[in-house]
Amino acid sequence: MQQLDPKRSTWHITFGTYGARLHGGDRPTVERPGSRPGDPFVGEDQSRERFIKTTMLAEPVVLTLEQRAFIEEALPAICTRGGWTFRACAAQPDHVHVLLDADRHVHGEKVRRLIKRWLTQEMNRHWLSVDGARWWAEQGSNRAIRDLEYLNRAYEYLQRQRTRT
């Protein structure tokens, strides 16, 4: 059973792969900026999705099993590099979850940006990228966890979703 660290902030960070979930597609998305929990999702709109596809700089990214396992192995060291306490992670074909503790004065958005930057550096060392190619969608989710029940549900969910256990 996980416990909250009263001296640190616990974050559930999620980010998608590039082009995996587009506004107007059949999977829900959130309109940014300024969205809040509980705001309605962007509805399906094929013309909007087609337009967004025309503006993409590269093909959508779907992570292979090898890449997903690599991400799960790399994230604990990335957390150490950032000064964060790693709890759990899970990489899926189109998104990544990370559960960690950070200094109270550091917002999860900054942590997410750094994780994506450093994970990109690690991924690029192992897989060649084509000009303009990106691994990650621009945004993501940073949920501060203040509730022990949510923390334990998130932890168990990530453990079940892992590529390697």
Clarify whether residues 14 and 32 are in a common domain: no
Q: Pick the closest to residue 124 from 84, 81, 73, 67 (CA basis).
A: 67
Band of pLDDT at residue 152, cut at 50, 70 and 90:
very high
Whole-number pLDDT of residue 38: 65
Clarify whether residues 33 and 78 are in a common domain: no
Clarify whether residues 28 and 65 are in a common domain: no
Domain membership flag for residue 116: yes
- Percent of the chain whose predicted confidence (pLDDT) is above 90: 61
Clarify whether residues 51 and 24 are in a common domain: yes
Do 126 and 116 contact (CB within 8 A), yes or no?
no
Clarify whether residues 116 and 157 are in a common domain: yes
Whole-number pLDDT of residue 159: 94
Domain membership flag for residue 2: no
Clarify whether residues 15 and 30 are in a common domain: no
Clarify whether residues 157 and 104 are in a common domain: yes
Domain membership flag for residue 28: yes
Clarify whether residues 103 and 89 are in a common domain: yes
Domain count, the chain: 2
Region 39-64: what's the mean pLDDT?
Answer: 67
Do 91 and 72 contact (CB within 8 A), yes or no?
yes
Whether the per-residue pLDDT at 89 is higher than 90: the answer is yes
Band of pLDDT at residue 21, cut at 50, 70 and 90:
low
Q: Where are the beta strands (DSSP E) in 22-79?
A: none
Whether the per-residue pLDDT at 142 is higher than 50: the answer is yes
Clarify whether residues 101 and 132 are in a common domain: yes
Element (H, E) at 115: helix 108-126
Clarify whether residues 51 and 90 are in a common domain: no
The token pair that represents 163 in the structure block: 């590529």
Region 1-14: what's the mean pLDDT?
Answer: 93
Region 86-105: what's the mean pLDDT?
Answer: 96
**Phi/psi zone of residue 34: left (φ > 0), alpha (ψ -120 to 50 degrees), beta?**
left
Clarify whether residues 110 and 152 are in a common domain: yes
Mean of pLDDT over the chain: 85
Q: Which domain holds residue 40?
A: 20-55
Clarify whether residues 44 and 93 are in a common domain: no
